[in-house]
Structure 1
Amino acid sequence: MNLQVILGNFALILFVLMVVTGVIWFLDVFYLAKQRRAAADRALAEYDARNARLTADGVKVDNTGNRAQLEAGILRQPTWIEYSGSFFPVIALVFFLRSFLFEPFKIPSSSMVPTLLVGDLILVNKFTYGIRLPVINQKIVQINNPQRGDVMVFKYPMDMSQDYIKRVVGVPGDKITYENKRLTVNGVEVKYTTLDDYLNDERLVYNKQFEENLTGVSHRILNDESKPTYNRDSVFPFPNSEACTYRSEGFSCVVPAGNYFMMGDNRDNSMDSRYWGFVPDKNIVGKAIVVWMNLGNLRRIGSIH
Structure 2
Amino acid sequence: MSVAENNKPEEKNAFWETIVVLVQAFILAGIIRTVLLQPFTIPSGSMVPTLLVGDYLLVNKFAYGYSRYSLPLYNPEWFKGRLFGSEPARGDVIVFRLPPDPSVDYIKRLIGLPGDKIQMIDGVLHINGKAVPRDAAGTFKSDDSETNGRAVPVYRETLDNGVSYDTLDLDPLSGADNTQEFVVPAKHYFFMGDNRDNSTDSRFTVGYVPEENLVGRATFIIFSIGNKTPFYEVWNWPANLRLSRFFKGIQ
* TM bracket (short chain): 0.7 to 0.9
Instruction: Quote the residue 2:65 is aligned against.
Output: 130
> For the Cα contact (< 8 Å) 1:291–1:300, is it kept in 2?
yes
1:304 aligns with 2:239: no
Supply the AA of the counterpart residue of 1:252: E
1:280 aligns with 2:226: no
Once the two structures are TM-superposed, the CA of residue 143 in structure 1 deviates from its matched residue by 3.8
Structure 1: how far apart are the matches of 2:120 and 2:82?
A: 35
Deviations 1:156-181 (A, max 9, x none): 12221111100000011111111211
- Give unpaired runs (5+ residues) of structure 2: 226-240
Measured against aligned partners, the alpha-carbon deviations of 1:79-101 in whole angstroms (never above 9, x if no partner) come to 8x887644321111001111111
User: Using the alignment, how far apart are the partners of 1:108 and 1:130 within structure 2?
Assistant: 26
1:208 aligns with 153
User: Matches of residues 286-297 of structure 1 in structure 2 within 5 Å?
Assistant: 286-295=216-225, 296-297=241-242
- Secondary structure of the corresponding residue to residue 230 of structure 1: helix
Could you say which structure has the higher helix fraction? 1
Query: Are the aligned partners of 2:67 and 2:213 in contact in 1 as well (CA < 8 Å)?
Result: no
Amino acid at match of 1:272: D
Pick aligned residue for 1:190 from 99, 121, 132: 132
Determine whether 1:256 maps to 2:201. no
Match status 1:228 vs 2:213: no
Match of 1:96 in 2: 31
Q: Which of 35, 41, 50 is 1:115 aligned to?
A: 50
Q: What RMSD in Å do the two structures reach over aligned CA positions?
A: 2.7
| Alignment length (residue pairs) | 221
Q: Find the structure with the greater CA-based Rg.
A: 1
| Unaligned residue ranges in structure 1 (runs of 5+) | 1-63, 232-248
Question: Counterparts of 1:109 and 1:194 in 2: how far apart (Å)?
Answer: 24
Q: Answer 1 or 2: higher relative contact order, Cα 8 Å, separation at least 6.
A: 2
User: In the alignment, which residue of structure 2 is the partner of 1:164?
Assistant: 106
Amino acid at match of 1:297: R
Pair 1:155-2:97 in alignment: yes
Please, what TM-score do these two structures have when normalized by structure 2?
0.79
